[in-house]
A and B are shown apart, each in its own frame.
Chain A
Amino acid sequence: MKHIILFSVLYLHWIIWSGKFDAFHLSLGIISSAFVTFMSHGLFIERKKVSTKIIAESIRFIKYVPWLLYQIILSNIHVASLVLSPKMPIEPKIIKYKTKLKSDIALVTFANSITLTPGTITADIIDGEYIVHTLSRKVADDLMSGEMEDKVADIFDEA
C-alpha cells in the first residue's frame, strides 16, 4: 500500500516538473519513479493502525493550516517589532514543556508548529518533554497557554 502511495506522489511530481506530455517523457517518469520507490522503500514507516480515520484527520489538518498561518504572521510581526526597536527588549530563556501527545505524527506536527511560530524553537524531546527556546516573555506565555497543543490533539483525536 505504501509503495503505491509513494509511487503516485513521485510520478505526480515528475509530471508537474517536467511539463512535457509526450509518450517518451511519461514512460521515462514511470521507470524512474519505480526505481526510486524500489530503492527507498525501507525508509518510510507505515502507520500502525491504518483505518478510515485518515480522511477525517486530513480534513481537520487542512482546517488547522489557516489558523497556523494567522498565528505565524502575528508572531512574525511581533519579532519584527522586537528587532527594529532600538533597545531590543528580549529575554531569551530555555523552558520545558510537558506534553500530553502520544503518537509520533502528532509529536512531529506539534514540534514543527512550535518551530514555525517565531519566537520559539523546539530543540529536543526527552521523555515527552519538549525543550523549547523562547525569545521573549510574551511568546513563552502564548505557548504555555496550551492553545496550540489542544488544536493539534484535536486533529489526531488524542484529547
Chain B
Amino acid sequence: MESFFIYIAMFLCLLVILALYRGIAGPTVLDRIISISAIGTKTTIILALMGFIYKRSDMFLDIALAYAFLNFIATLAAAKFFRGRKSIIPGSRYIKNRGGK
C-alpha cells in the first residue's frame, strides 16, 4: 500500500510541473495566480500522502493545514491587490480605474 501512495504522490508532482507551465507562460497575471492556487491545493494533498508514507500523519497533517491556510490567504491577497488595475492585461502601460467598480 505504501508503494501505491508513492506512485500517487509522484503522479501529483507531475501534475504540479504541468500546472507550472501555465504559471510561467500565462498571458495575464490572473492566470499565474490560479496556477499557483491549483499547485497549492495539490501540495496539500501531497503533504497528507507523505504523512501516510512516513507513518507520521499527526505531524504532516498540521503542516498540510497550515499550507492550505497560507494558500488561501495568498490567493485572496493577490486578487485584492490586482483588483481594478489595468496592469493585469499585458501591453497596457497606464493604470486606470483604480479602486474597482
Residue B2 lies at the interface, judged by CB distance under 8 Å to chain A: no
A residues 1-53 near B (Cβ < 8 Å) are 17, 19
Inter-chain CA distance A19–B57, complex, in Å, is 12
Residues of A within 8 Å of B65, CB to CB, are 17
Tally of chain B residues near chain A (CB < 8 A): 3
Q: Which of B47-101 contact A (CB under 8 A)?
A: 58, 62, 65
The distance from the CB of B60 to the nearest CB of chain A, in whole angstroms, is 13
Cα separation A17 to B68 with both chains bound (whole Å): 15
**Nearest CB in chain A to that of B65: its residue:** A17
**Complex alpha-carbon distance, A19 and B58, angstroms:** 9
Q: How far is the CA of A19 from the CA of B65 in the complex (A)?
A: 15
Bound together, the chains give a CA A17 to CA B58 distance in angstroms of 9
Interchain nearest-CB distance for A124 vs B (Å): 10
Chain B nearest Cβ from A153, distance in angstroms: 29
In the bound complex, residues from chain A placing their C-beta under 8 Å from that of B58 are: 19
B50 CB to nearest A CB, Å: 18
Residue interface bits B4-20, CB-to-A below 8 A is 1, else 0: 00000000000000000
* B62 proximity list for chain A (CB < 8 A): 17
Give the shortest distance, in Å, between B18 (CB) and chain A (any CB). 13
Which chain B residue lies CB-closest to A19? Answer: B58
- B51 CB to closest chain A CB (Å) equals 14
A17 to B62, CA, bound (A): 8
Could you say which residues of chain B place their CB within 8 Å of the CB of A17? 62, 65
What are the residues of chain B within 8 A of A19 when measuring CB–CB? 58
Nearest chain A CB to B33's CB is how many angstroms away?
15
B22 → chain A closest CB, angstroms: 14
Query: Which B residues are closer than 8 A to A by beta carbons?
Result: 58, 62, 65
3 pairs, A vs B, C-beta closer than 8 Å: A17-B62, A17-B65, A19-B58
